[in-house]
C-alpha cells in the first residue's frame, strides 16, 4: 500500500513538473523572426527582461520591445506590442485630418483646397478640388472650370534607429508624394477677322475648351504647430497630356504640357487647420 502511495505521489509530482515546463511564457520577436520560450521577469517601457531554461537562472536576458510582436504567457493570456514609431497606438491623441488651402493659387486664377487623412504612421492620402476662375484673372480670359487632384504621401523616417524615436506629429515631416491631376476649363481668346482687305478687320472673341491630365512626383515638407495649424511647402515635376487647342502652358493646376514639351511643374505653399477629435 505504501508503495502504491509513493508511486502516485511521484506521478503527481512529475505531472506538476511537466505542467510547469509546458506553462512557459513565449516571446514572438522579429528582426530576426524567432520564438523564445522563457520566463518573463519584467516588462519595462523599452525592454522586456526574461530568463531562459537553457541557460543558468542567474542570467537575465533583454529584448527591445520594438522587436516583439506579442508575448503569450503560461496561463494563456496574450500581450501585443506596437513599434514606438509606426504603431498607431502611439499617436492616438493627435489629430489625423487636415483641410488646406493652396495659399497663392487665387493670385493665379483658381482656388484650390485639399483634404489630408493619415492612413497610418508615415503614410497619408490627400484629395484636392479647385474652382478655376475663382481668383485673379491675370490674362483677362474669363476662365471657368474645375481641377481635381489625388496624391499618396510617404513621410520619411529618420536615418538612424532609436528605440524611443517617433514622429513629432503623424502629419509632420519631409515627404514624397506621387500625384495625379485632372482639370477641365473654358477660357476666352481673341482673333482678328479681316473683312475684304487687310485694311478692314474686327476683333472676334471666342471660347476654347481645355482638358488636361498630369502625373507628377511631388516632394515637400510639412510643419504642424500645436496639433492645430500646419504649413506645407512643396514642388513637383512630371508629365502631362490632353486637349490643349491654344497651346497654353499654364493650366491653373500645373505648368507645362504644351506643344514644346510634355514636362509639367508645380510648386507652392499650403496653409491649413487640423480636424477631428484628439
Note the pLDDT tens digit of each residue in 173-192.
999 999 999 999 999 987 77
Query: What is the C-alpha to C-alpha distance for residues 194 and 200, in angstroms, rounded to an integer?
Result: 6
In this predicted structure, the answer to whether residue 7 has a pLDDT above a threshold of 60 is no
For the residues of the chain, what is the DSSP string, one character each? -HHHHHHHHHHHHHHHHHHHHHT-EEEEETTTTEEEEEEEEEE-SSEEEEE-TTS-TT--EEEEGGGEEEEE-TTS-EEE---TTT-GGGGTTS--EEEEEETTGGGGTEEEEEEEEEEETTEEEEEEEEEETSS--TTS---EEEEEEEEEEEE---SS--TT---SSTT-EEEEEEEEEEEEEEEEEEEEEE-SSTT-EEEEEEEEEEEEEEEEEEEEEEEEETTTEEEEEEEEEEEEEEE-TT--SB-SS-EE-SSS--EEEEEEEEEEEEES--
pLDDT class for 19, splitting at 50, 70, 90?
A: very low
Query: Which range among 6-20, 79-93, 133-147, 204-218 shows the weakest confidence by mean pLDDT?
Result: 6-20
In this predicted structure, the answer to whether residue 197 has a pLDDT above a threshold of 80 is no
pLDDT class for 15, splitting at 50, 70, 90?
A: very low
Q: Name the pairing type of β-strands 78-80 and 68-72.
A: antiparallel
- The verdict on whether omega for the bond into residue 32 sits within 30 degrees of 0, i.e. cis, is yes
What is the pTM (predicted TM-score) of this model? 0.71
The residue ranking higher by pLDDT, 23 or 223, is: 223
Which residues lie closer than 8 Å to 188 by C-beta, 6 or more apart? 140, 141, 142, 205, 206, 207, 208
The residue ranking higher by pLDDT, 14 or 23, is: 23
Q: Name the pairing type of β-strands 34-43 and 78-80.
A: unpaired
Q: Are the C-beta atoms of 259 and 269 separated by less than 8 Å?
A: no
Greatest Cα pair distance, the chain, in angstroms, is 136
In this predicted structure, the answer to whether residue 165 has a pLDDT above a threshold of 60 is no
Query: What is the C-alpha to C-alpha distance for residues 183 and 252, in angstroms, rounded to an integer?
Result: 8
Mean pLDDT of 153-158: 84
pLDDT tens-digit map of 111-154: 999 999 999 888 999 999 999 999 999 888 999 999 999 999 99
Mean pLDDT of 208-226: 96
Query: Which range among 29-33, 143-147, 207-211 shows the weakest confidence by mean pLDDT?
Result: 29-33
Mean pLDDT of 72-95: 79
Domain 89-275 - what CATH class?
mainly beta
Mean pLDDT of 265-271: 97
Q: What is the pLDDT of residue 33?
A: 87
Q: Could you tell me the residue ranges of all domains in the chain?
A: 26-81, 89-275
Amino acid at each position: 500500500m505504501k508503495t502504491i502511495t509513493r508511486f502516485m505521489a511521484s506521478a503527481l509530482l512529475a505531472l506538476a513538473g511537466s505542467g510547469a515546463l509546458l506553462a512557459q511564457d513565449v516571446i514572438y520577436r522579429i528582426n530576426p523572426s524567432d520564438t523564445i520560450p522563457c520566463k518573463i521577469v519584467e516588462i519595462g517601457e523599452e525592454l522586456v527582461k526574461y530568463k531562459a531554461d537553457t541557460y543558468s537562472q542567474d542570467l537575465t536576458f533583454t529584448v527591445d520591445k520594438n522587436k516583439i510582436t506579442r508575448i503569450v504567457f503560461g496561463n494563456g493570456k496574450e500581450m501585443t506590442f506596437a513599434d514606438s514609431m509606426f504603431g498607431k497606438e502611439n499617436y492616438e491623441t493627435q489629430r489625423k485630418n487636415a483641410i488646406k488651402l493652396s495659399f497663392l493659387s487665387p493670385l493665379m486664377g483658381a482656388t484650390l483646397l485639399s483634404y489630408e487623412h493619415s492612413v497610418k504612421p508615415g503614410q497619408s492620402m490627400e484629395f484636392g478640388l479647385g474652382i478655376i476662375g475663382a481668383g485673379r484673372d491675370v490674362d483677362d480670359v474669363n476662365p471657368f472650370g474645375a481641377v481635381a487632384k489625388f496624391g499618396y504621401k510617404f513621410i520619411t523616417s529618420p536615418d538612424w534607429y532609436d528605440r524611443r524615436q517617433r514622429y513629432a506629429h503623424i502629419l509632420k515631416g519631409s515627404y514624397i508624394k506621387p500625384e495625379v491631376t485632372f482639370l477641365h476649363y473654358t477660357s476666352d481668346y481673341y482673333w482678328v477677322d479681316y473683312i475684304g482687305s487687310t485694311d478692314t478687320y474686327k476683333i472676334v472673341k471666342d471660347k476654347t475648351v481645355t482638358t488636361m491630365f498630369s502625373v507628377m512626383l511631388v516632394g515637400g515638407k510639412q510643419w504642424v504647430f500645436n496639433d492645430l495649424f500646419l504649413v506645407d511647402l512643396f514642388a513637383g515635376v512630371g508629365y502631362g497630356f490632353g486637349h490643349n487647342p491654344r497651346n497654353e502652358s499654364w493650366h491653373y493646376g500645373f505648368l507645362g504640357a504644351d506643344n514644346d514639351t510634355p514636362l509639367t511643374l508645380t510648386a507652392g505653399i499650403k496653409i491649413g487647420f487640423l480636424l477631428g477629435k484628439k
